[in-house]
Amino acid sequence: MSRLLDEYNNQIKESLKSKLGLKNIFQVPKIQKIILNMGIGDGKDDSKLIDKAVEDLTLISGQKAIKTKSKKAISGFKIREGMPLGVKVTLRNKMMYEFLDRLINIAIPRIRDFRGLNRKSFDGKGNFSMGIKEHVIFPEINFDKVDKMRGMDITICTSGKNNNEALELLKSFNMPFKEDQVN
- Domains identified in the chain and CATH numbers: 31-159 (3.30.1440.10)
Q: Which pLDDT belongs to residue 43?
A: 62
Query: What is the rounded average pLDDT of the residues 84-112?
Result: 86
- What pLDDT, on a 0 to 100 scale, did the predictor assign at position 73? 77
pLDDT score of 157: 92
What pLDDT does 70 receive? 75
Cβ atoms of 152 and 57 within 8 Å: the answer is: yes
Three-class DSSP category at 175: coil
Q: List residues bridging with 35 in a β-sheet.
A: 90, 155
DSSP, collapsed to helix, strand or coil, labels residue 12 as helix
Instruction: Count helices and strands (H / E) in the chain.
Output: 5, 5
Cβ pair 20, 163 in contact under 8 A = no
- Predicted confidence (pLDDT) at residue 54 exceeds the cutoff of 50: yes
Q: Which residues pair with 132 in a beta bridge?
A: 152
List, for residues 106-165, the tens digit of each pLDDT value.
888 888 888 888 888 888 888 999 888 887 788 787 777 777 788 889 999 998 888 888
Mean pLDDT of 91-112: 86
Res. 67: pLDDT tops 70: yes
Position 182 confidence tier, pLDDT thresholds 50, 70, 90 = very low
